Structure 1
Amino acid sequence: MLISDNLSDNELYSLLKQDNEEAFDRLYNRYWKKMLFKAVLKLQSEADAEEVVQDAFIDLWKSRHTTTIKNTFHTYLAAIIRYKIMAKIADRKKVIHQGVEDIYQLQVVDNSTQQWLSFTDLQAEIEASVAALPEKCQLVFRMSRESGLSDKQIADSLGLSQKTIEAHISKALKVLRTSIGQFLGAFLSFLLVLLFIS
């Protein structure tokens, strides 16, 4: 089946949902360069950017039977790429965090330095907790807290109900409070949650 060049993104996505590989190729060719450019700017690594874009399109193909796009294909794809970029950055921070333990073996005399180490460790704990959230829950939370989108904007972008978005954010906050509560005392945890994620 030959596909017309004049088909819109959403028309191509409808064909993709019917397992049409040519429609997938058309969407890929329309967007991979734009998405790669965006990912390179954020990650400052062409290899990481290529991996992010490839993973995004693989996810797009795998979820073709279960995902319905209510807005534009471009908006949906951009949201996937954003999530993948943030996940890649989180993975980098995890690697850095593994080396932080070596720092604690040093004798810290300056109290301000000790406070800085604790602050850094706490940030790493928060990021690790966010990165451990289920994929959709993490995407919703990051779009809310890091991109500053409203529940309605996120719902429209992902084709979900506003109540579903609220449930994801509520779940994420609960996980974070529990995680940070174990890391610090309950009262200090509450203050830091307000400071960093409210």
Structure 2
Amino acid sequence: MQLTEQEIVGAIRQGNERIFEVVFRKYYQSLCNYANSILKEMEEAEEIVQNLFSGLWEKRSDLEINISLKSYLYRAVHNHCLNRIKHLKIREEYQEYATSYYESSYESVGQTVMKNELEQRIHEAIEKLPEQCRVIFKLSRFEELKYHEIADQLGLSPKTVENQVGKALKILRTELAEYLPILILLLDGIVKLNIEYWYL
């Protein structure tokens, strides 16, 4: 029986995995191709589309679509791609600024102590993570592996990997809460520290 789009959305909202999988298979590749046309990087494009569908399923009970399902998905991918480009641009601009700044300045003794202390606390906080959580977080942030690569390496689902990274970040934020003022200074370029993994 042919379902209307509203019936499809309703089925997904109610947790119908079969219908969700049909939608995923129908639109996945074309959405990846569309994202790739914007980002010019297929792996990034695939990650954005995978995260989109993952988010849809995770928040399915709140799913409200007032336009065609196809238009909704393409618009969502478009917005995610623009956000990704903006994020990369901000990071690139910061790195250019930091390089320029540190070539013409030097760290004071106090800054060095602050940096070393924070590095030590971050290291200790990471080592206190549950074993699987710690391993996945290090592979994601230090080895820069994609979720699906970590999943393949550890024999887990990409969703499990995503959940474990989220859990690690939540724990680290709690552990390092007292250092947030210092962290803000670091991200403003006052002290050079390799903590890019802090970014979500």
TM-score using structure 2 length = 0.47
